Amino acid sequence: MAGPLSGVKVIDLTGVVSGPLATMFLADQGADVLKIEPLGGDITRRSRQTIDKAGNFSALFISTNRGKRSLAIDIKTDIGCEVLAKLIGQADVLVQNFRPGTMERLGLGFEQLRKSHPRLIYVSISGVGDSGPYVKKRVYDPIIQGLSGFADIQSQPVTNRPQMIRTIVADKTTAIFSAQAVCAALYAREKSGEGQHIQVAMLDTMISYLWPEGMMQYTVVGAEATATDPNDRPDLVFKTSDGYITVGTISDSEWRGFCQASGDSKLAEDQRFATPAGRSVNATARINLMGEYIAKHTTAEWLARLDASDVPCAPILRRGEIIHNEQVIARGLIEEFDQPTVGKVRQPRPAARFDVNEAGIQGPAPLIGEHSRDVLRELGYSSGEIDAFVSSGALRVAGEAPPPKRQAS
C-alpha cells in the first residue's frame, strides 16, 4: 500500500499531539516519516497510562505515531547534529513544534537551513505563533480553547459559565491544518522547485476553524450589538423514552417532515416555525417543543418515523457503542493490527479515500529507537560507528541497553 505521498521523506521533530498527529496523517498517505525522539522517547509514550508492561506505549502515542520509524538520538550532541544534518539533506519536509527560538539556538532554524536546502519544506507548529505578548507562554490545548472562543461557545445556557470541550480539539485540528499545508507546499514546489517555511499556530487555527458559524454575530463590522448569538439556544440532544437522539430541521421540508413524524397535525400550523428565519429566531422554543414530543417514544420508533419523513437524525452513541454501530462496520472504519509489546489494537482507517494510490495504516507505532541502526546504516555509518554512538550516550537502539545518562555540563 504505497499511498499518494509515496517517496516523500519527512523528518518529524515533534512531540505531544499536534505535530505527531500531523505527520501520522502524512505517513497514512504513504510518506516515509522518521520520528526523531529524545533518548527517553516522546512524552506521550507515558501519557495518562501506559498499556504495555515495558512502558513503551500509551494509547495516545499509538494513535498519533503509527506507521512511522523511530530514531532516538540526542540532537544537542555533536553526533546528533551531524546525523540530523545528513538527514535534512535527504528530506523533503521537516516538521518541528519546539517553543519559538529553540531551533534557531540549535542552528536548525529555517533561515539557517534555507540556502543549503532550498527545496526543504519547513513546518513550525506553535501555540500562539512567533510574535506577540504571549509568545513565551507554555501552551496546551485548554489554553487555546480559552483564548480562541471555544470555551465560550460551550457556555452553560443558564449560568453562562464557559466550559472546555472534553477532547483536545485544538491539538487535533492544528494537526489537520498542518498536514494539509504540507501537501499544498509539496504541490507548489512541483511548480517552482522551491521549498518554504510554513507556520501553523494553534490559536490561529482555532479562530479560523470557529469563525464560519461560531462567530457569525461578529462578521459584519458595526452590527455586533444587533446580531443574534447563534449559540444562545439548547443543543440538539434529545432524550427519548429509552436513550438519546439528535435531529436536524433546517429546511422547510425537514421541519414539515418532523411535524408529520410527531403525529400532531397542529404543529405544522405554528407560525413561529413556518420559515427558516422564524425557526432561527424562535430556536429555543422550537427545540424545547421538539424535546417534549421526542420524550414520548423510544429511540428506535423515532428513528423509523424520522427516516420515513426524510428528516436528518441519528442515535447518539456512547463511545463503547461506536465500534459496533452498523454504519461504522459497513464502512470498515475501524481496523485492527498487532502492536508489538501491547497486543491487538484498534485504529480508525484514514478518512480520505483515494481510488488510486490508496492511503492506509502503514504499520504499528515504533519502539523508542526501533529504527536507529537502520537509519544510520542508510546514512553510511558502519556498525562500529553506530556502536560507538550508543556507548557515548548520544544514541538509543530499541532492545539494547539504554545509553548512560549524560552528565550535566
The residues carrying an active-site annotation are 171
Count Cα atoms within 13 angstroms, Cβ side, for 68. 32
* Residue written as grid cell 501553523: 200
From the list 160, 257, 164, 150, the residue with the least C-alpha distance to 210 is 150
Long-range (24+ apart) CB contacts under 8 A made by 286-291 are: 286/249, 287/233, 287/234, 287/236, 288/234, 290/238, 290/247, 290/249, 290/258, 291/234, 291/238, 291/239
**Contact assessment for residue 37 and residue 388, using Cβ atoms and an 8 Å cutoff:** no
Joined together, the cell numbers standing for residue 77 give: 550532541
